[in-house]
Amino acid sequence: MDLVNGEGASDELSRLQSHLYKNILSFTDSMSLYCAIQLGIPDIIHNHGQPITLKQLASKLRIHPQKTSCMHRLMRLLVHSGFITKTAPVVHEDQEGEEEEAYALTASSRVVLEDKVTGLSPLVQAILDPAVVNSWYSLGDWFRGTELTPFVKEHGMGFFDYCKQNPEYGVAFDEGMASDSRLMSKVIKDYKTIFEGLDSLVDVGGGSGTVSRIISEAFPHIKCTVFDLPHVVANLPDDKNLKYVGGDMFQSIPAADAILMKWILHDWSDEECIDILKRCKEAIRSKGKDGKIIIIDVVINEEEEQHDITKAKLFSDALMMILVTGKERTKKEWEKLFLDAGFSHYKIVAPYGLKSLIEVYPY
């Protein structure tokens, strides 16, 4: 279509302009959610026990009266984004029947409540921290340069080194990962058969042990080992069938019937993943049918999944490009890794959320 002189050019240009603006300003959804969590809006609404009016919300937030209209604009955007919903107007009997809109939580906002076991607000705050967001500004220069990642370009060091040297953010990142890991309790409940027949399991890169603790409580007979860098597991106390071991997964991994890696391999390049997988293969001591690697990670499947799911996975892939040397992988890319590392076969057990459960067998 001739966008200058052709019939319908004005409508088409308007559509293209709207599409452009939507993409230019799409970060607004993220930052509005970040602000809402920063202010504690979801928790305020939840603790209020019923839909809350703008005046009530502004009062609890101690918002200056001059900013109440701006708070309305923020709430309007959160409603449009699906994180907040408007209810029927509330009637104030003490104000001569005055009606006012009220706000309530949606299912999406309930998953960022701080007092919920599965609350994901720490993950939101870790991903949208300025240390991460500012690295995006270095992406263009990074493509023309020689730095390992845009994060290195921006900060002069790798992401995990930054976490170590900036403990405040390091703790925030660990809390973000732990909040995501707490969802594993539901996954384990739905897929118990994956852990049946195992006597021991090593959680590689397991951090503070959130996932291993869930597994050890659900399967008391499984001896779980959390394996991570020495400074990560230092001073963490062992408990019953759960212990902590420090080390380097590129050198060796403690022996066990099964090796678990949740959201680990997407941090690393193909070559690095093959090295890690080979160390895992060496660590699997059971030669029988129960010896395996359990991988929880993203599998991109554009042909079969919903558009929004694929888009979220592609967003995550771009984030990996910004922060580390890894990426999110397709089924074919995962298969190549497994074969190149010397494994005989694998199966994708089930998807949940953005991630999938994958079992990989050495024999």
Query: For the domain that residue 41 is a member of, what is the CATH number?
Result: 1.10.10.10
Residues 193 and 328 in one domain: yes
Quick: pLDDT tens for 288-311: 556 899 999 999 998 888 999 999
Asked if the structure places residue 178 within a domain, the reply is: no
pTM passes above 0.85: yes
Residues 128 and 52 in one domain: no
- Specify the pLDDT at position 1: 46
Mean pLDDT value of segment 304-329: 95
DSSP-based three-state secondary structure for 324: coil
Least confident of 48-57, 153-162, 203-212, 289-298: 289-298
Which positions are annotated as active-site residues? 266
Asked if the structure places residue 315 within a domain, the reply is: yes
Residues 267 and 145 in one domain: no
Asked if the structure places residue 17 within a domain, the reply is: no
How many CB atoms sit inside 10 A of residue 102's CB?
20
Mean pLDDT value of segment 219-229: 95
Residue 189 clears pLDDT 70, i.e. is over it: yes
CB of 34 within 8 A of CB of 121? no
Mean pLDDT value of segment 68-80: 96
| Dihedral, 337, 339, 341, 343 alpha carbons, nearest 10 | 120
pLDDT band at 4 (very low <50, low <70, confident <90, very high): low
- Specify the pLDDT at position 290: 64
pLDDT band at 97 (very low <50, low <70, confident <90, very high): low
Residue 2 clears pLDDT 80, i.e. is over it: no
**Bridge partners, 246 (sequence order):** 228
- Specify the pLDDT at position 116: 65
Quick: pLDDT tens for 15-46: 999 999 999 999 999 999 999 999 999 999 99
Which one-letter DSSP state was computed for residue 293? E
Asked if the structure places residue 6 within a domain, the reply is: no
Q: Tell me the CATH number at 215.
A: 3.40.50.150
Q: Which domain holds residue 154?
A: 121-162+167-173
Mean pLDDT value of segment 130-138: 97
- Domains in the chain, number: 3
Cα–Cα distance measured from residue 192 to residue 361, given in angstroms and rounded to the nearest whole number: 18
Which one-letter DSSP state was computed for residue 238? P
Asked if the structure places residue 227 within a domain, the reply is: yes
pLDDT band at 266 (very low <50, low <70, confident <90, very high): very high
Which one-letter DSSP state was computed for residue 57? H
